[in-house]
Amino acid sequence: MTKRHLAGYHMTLFRANAATARLYSIAIDPGYRGHGLAALLLSDAERQSALRGRRSLRLEVREDNESAIRLYERLGFRRIGARSGYYADGATALRYEKRLAPRTRLRAAAG
């Protein structure tokens, strides 16, 4: 029998009648980092959001998580604010948003 291992996941939340989805959590097992899995999971979060008719995807990230910030910005997320004391240890969260193209939403809904 083959042993299976969870390499990563994303949890995206969808509120009824909301135009924006929220990437609540994303994690990659350290042994799988550096292989593009985070970008793949973010792409899936965008696709799932578009399939549900959302116009944008938002997230929060610790201000000291430089690698995640670089990834989000490279993938088209833009900083829209900050929340001090957001995390249990008092760290600040940076808020990011990515607009989902209308063409993407239509293609996803049709496909």
60 catalytic? Reply is: yes
Q: Identify whether the C-beta of residue 49 lies closer than 8 Å to the C-beta of residue 57.
A: yes
Catalytic residue among 9, 24, 32, 60: 60
Q: Which of 9, 46, 66, 72 is catalytic?
A: 72
CB 45 within 8 A of CB 77: no
61 close to 27: Cβ distance less than 8 angstroms = no
Question: From CA 32, how far away is CA 37, in angstroms rounded?
Answer: 7
Q: Is 72 an annotated catalytic residue?
A: yes
Residue 64: left if φ>0, alpha if ψ -120 to 50, beta else—which one? alpha
DSSP helix/strand/coil, 2: coil
Residues tagged active-site: 60, 72
